[in-house]
Chain A
């Protein structure tokens, strides 16, 4: 890994730590539809640019414009890219801006793929769904879960800057493979939790009962004899199926679920009408 750094390293640990902090705080402040995280990316790497091109206004101008370009990826993964790109920038010293842009734009897509699964979908499943489940039971202590997990992720993001810097351009092969393995294991854990979440948090009370002779049959109790939680799982699988349809958006599904809820809630009254 050391052979990549041909010259005396200019970028110090302190610089990298500074970049990591800026990355956490500033990456998305200037988010806009044209360059997305581009402005935040330039803000993040500014300490490095200042150090490398302080006495060279032309290179500074070129580097600033280059780093303001389009950028967008999962915030946690951006640290790896910033780290790797810092190593490259330090090596090339502005001699090849295309290589710097190439590394940046080449990594952001694949990394967003892994990152959105691991740091968004699975993270939310494990952290926020369990906290919300506890909240629905009236327990505020569950809110500690996202707080603690948030600090853990901050530490990981901080480390990612250094890992990216040290691995440089070889980042995708080795580290990417390790993250993929982790994602698979985490997905199994996440799906187990999601399955359990369904009967735990979706608890509609359907006020409908039939009188057969003298026996009063409660509709919901009847269904639960097949398997408990059959109504919640049916609603989720129906929603999942609908989401696979063309033209179905989450907002449309929201209105469908609202309508179903209002109908189910008034089922007893509706049945009386007939």
Chain B
């Protein structure tokens, strides 16, 4: 299968739109999961797209742009990786194996975009001094340009030269590496999960972590994620119940009743 120029343009436009989504509404278009799925869907193999996107999603789970840190661009990685996996017909693991270094490499373009925006910050500073608020407004909107181009250009190039790149890799990739990537792809989600655990209060609530693990590990195919989530919800409710029961009741009724009251207050205020 080859990539038509029309498809390349659609995917390039998609990654631009997805980057705007990442900065604004965050509906999920920006996630590697969507990137892989949409590329797979357009290229006629949605399963590979889901596998590549899902694995990359789990890898990036805990890696967030806290305080504006640059993180690997696994969105572009999942688009290019899925495309390469389908072009080469070598399966999802092949795509994941390529998406990881691509995503890492593209981190640098994210840094570049954030640096380029300095230009617009200074432009806004100049307009602010003269009181030109429209100029400030424009400067912020111009920020879209570095953000989107830093994603659209590499995706376009990566897809445009897709066939040649895939042929080149197939020629030089040793068998042991292919075999190794299969297992590597299966354990890489540990990366995102471990990082996420560092950001969650694991030390305080490790008991719940153990319960979740044992339920799924022992339950196997009889257990579903939704069932575990429901048990987790019940555990959280029990925890809050005990926490509130053993606390001396503050004036004005139970904490639950107090919360309710506040909610009502807010409603009234908004109607003003």
In the complex, are the beta carbons of B229 and A195 less than 8 A apart? Answer: no
Q: Which residues of A contact B197 (CB under 8 A)?
A: 194, 236, 240
B194: interface (CB < 8 Å): yes
Q: Which residues of A contact B223 (CB under 8 A)?
A: 196
In the complex, are the beta carbons of B184 and A265 less than 8 A apart? Answer: yes
In the complex, are the beta carbons of B34 and A65 less than 8 A apart? Answer: no
Binary flags per residue of A240-268, CB closer than 8 Å to B gives 1, else 0: 10111000001101100110111111100
Shortest distance from the beta carbon of A116 to any chain B beta carbon, whole Å = 6
Shortest distance from the beta carbon of B30 to any chain A beta carbon, whole Å = 10
- CB closest chain-B residue, reference A146: B28
Q: Which residues of B contact A202 (CB under 8 A)?
A: 186-187, 189-190, 193
Q: Which residues of B contact A266 (CB under 8 A)?
A: 176, 179-180
Interface residue total, chain B, C-beta cutoff 8 A: 113
Taken together as a complex, chains A and B put the C-alpha atoms of A185 and B241 apart, in Å, by 11
B83: interface (CB < 8 Å): no
Q: Point out residues on A near B: beta carbons under 8 Å.
A: 1-2, 9, 13, 24-36, 38-40, 42-43, 46, 49-50, 57, 60-61, 64-65, 68, 72, 75, 112, 116-117, 120-122, 124-126, 128-136, 138-140, 143, 146-147, 150-151, 153-154, 162-163, 166, 174, 178, 181, 184-206, 227-229, 232-233, 235-236, 239-240, 242-244, 250-251, 253-254, 257-258, 260-266, 269
In the complex, are the beta carbons of A61 and B216 less than 8 A apart? Answer: no
Q: Which residues of A contact B114 (CB under 8 A)?
A: 31-33
In the complex, are the beta carbons of A265 and B182 less than 8 A apart? Answer: yes
B240: interface (CB < 8 Å): yes
- CB closest chain-B residue, reference A230: B217
Taken together as a complex, chains A and B put the C-alpha atoms of A40 and B212 apart, in Å, by 40
In the complex, are the beta carbons of A205 and B186 less than 8 A apart? Answer: yes
Taken together as a complex, chains A and B put the C-alpha atoms of A30 and B115 apart, in Å, by 10
Q: Which residues of A contact B233 (CB under 8 A)?
A: 189
Residue from A42, A151, A201 having most chain B Cβ neighbours under 10 A: A201
**With A68-B136, A192-B232, A232-B190 in contact, do A257 and B184 touch (Cβ < 8 Å)?**
yes
Taken together as a complex, chains A and B put the C-alpha atoms of A34 and B123 apart, in Å, by 13
- Dominant SS among interface residues on chain A: helix
In the complex, are the beta carbons of A29 and B129 less than 8 A apart? Answer: no
Taken together as a complex, chains A and B put the C-alpha atoms of A31 and B68 apart, in Å, by 8
In the complex, are the beta carbons of A138 and B47 less than 8 A apart? Answer: yes
In the complex, are the beta carbons of B198 and A240 less than 8 A apart? Answer: yes
In the complex, are the beta carbons of A181 and B58 less than 8 A apart? Answer: no
B171: interface (CB < 8 Å): no
**With A124-B61, A196-B213 in contact, do A203 and B23 touch (Cβ < 8 Å)?**
no
Q: Which residues of A contact B270 (CB under 8 A)?
A: 13, 162, 166
